[in-house]
């Protein structure tokens, strides 16, 4: 009986080691590139004040044809005609306007929400690493487009924050967070299994907890 108990314990240990190592390396492989990205952008975000951004601004102008302008006016939502600039009516960009913007100004406004007032349509076009907008004067049909790009670092920082990145990137962030959780939890269990032969294991784990807690208590107010 005494011989079988150690053997059973070794088998259980081997079983858990095998599966934990498998989940650990799979999750680490999935997280590798994302972790590098988030580590680098964590540094750039922490030093955003020291990293200069030089925005590049582009502007374009065009005028809606009369037939397109008439259709846009006809598509105005109820209440837009009396809305002041400070209290716009929100409604989707009409398909006819989205098609014209794509052809004339190379702007993808399909499915976007516009702010309608009595004399203007304003469409915000935010994106990672920059901002853009287009406005259409409902009296003259003049369209003004401005696009601001803040560079690659700003783009990567916005990916880190999930700023204006859309549903697909949001889903990726959720999956990435889950993979990181698996990576960390399996790593914790592997530490536990190997801690017997590594005296510094738990002091180092404790240090990783105590240092940020002390910093938060002592220096963050």
pLDDT at 82: 53
Nearest alpha carbon to residue 67 among 38, 96, 98:
96
Q: What's the CA gap between 115 and 90, in Å, rounded?
A: 5
Whether 9 shows a pLDDT value over 90: the answer reads no
CB 97 within 8 A of CB 115: no
- Min mean pLDDT across 6-10, 149-153, 203-207 is at 6-10
What is the mean pLDDT of the segment spanning 44-71?
93
117 phi and psi angles, rounded to 5 deg: -125, -175
How many other C-beta atoms lie within 10 A of the C-beta of residue 120? 19
DSSP for 180-220 reads HHHHHHHHHHHHHHHGGG-TTHHHHHHHHHHHHHHHHHHH-
Q: Return the domain boundaries, the chain.
A: 13-51+162-219, 56-149
Residues with Cβ within 8 Å of 44's Cβ and at least 6 positions away in sequence, in order, are 51, 153, 156, 157
Whether 8 shows a pLDDT value over 90: the answer reads no
CB-based burial, 70-79: b 16+ in 10 Å, e otherwise: ebbbebbeee
Given a cut of 90, is residue 173 above it in pLDDT? yes
Name the band, by pLDDT with cuts 50, 70 and 90, for residue 12: confident
Instruction: Tell me the pLDDT band of 87, cut-offs 50, 70 and 90.
Output: low
pLDDT value at residue 81: 59
Could you tell me what percent of the chain has a pLDDT over 90? 77
Name which of 28, 9, 29, 32 is nearest 193 in CA terms: 9
Please indicate whether residue 106 or residue 197 has the higher confidence score (pLDDT): 106
Burial of 183 (0-12, 13-18, 19+ CB in 10 A): buried
**pTM listed for this prediction:** 0.80
Q: In this structure, what are the phi and psi dihedrals at residue 34, rounded to the nearest 5 degrees?
A: -60, -40
């Amino acid at each position: 009986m005494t011989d079988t108990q150690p053997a059973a314990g070794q088998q259980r240990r081997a079983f858990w080691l095998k599966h934990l190592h498998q989940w650990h390396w799979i999750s680490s492989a999935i997280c590798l590139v994302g972790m590098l990205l988030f580590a680098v952008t964590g540094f750039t975000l922490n030093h955003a004040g020291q990293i200069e951004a030089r925005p590049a601004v582009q502007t374009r102008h065009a005028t809606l044809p009369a037939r397109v302008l008439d259709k846009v006016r006809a598509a105005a939502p109820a209440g837009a005609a009396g809305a002041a600039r400070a209290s716009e009516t929100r409604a989707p960009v009409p398909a006819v306007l989205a098609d014209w913007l794509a052809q004339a100004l190379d702007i993808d406004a399909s499915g976007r929400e516009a702010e309608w007032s009595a004399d203007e349509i304003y469409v915000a076009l935010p994106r990672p690493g920059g901002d853009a907008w287009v406005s259409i004067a409902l009296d003259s049909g003049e369209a003004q487009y401005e696009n601001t790009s803040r560079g690659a670092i700003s783009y990567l920082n916005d990916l880190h924050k999930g700023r204006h990145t859309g549903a697909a990137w949001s889903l990726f962030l959720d999956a990435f967070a889950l993979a990181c959780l698996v990576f960390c939890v399996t790593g914790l269990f592997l530490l536990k299994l190997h801690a017997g032969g590594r005296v510094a294991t738990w002091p180092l784990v404790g240090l990783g907890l105590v240092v940020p807690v002390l910093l938060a208590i002592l220096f963050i107010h």
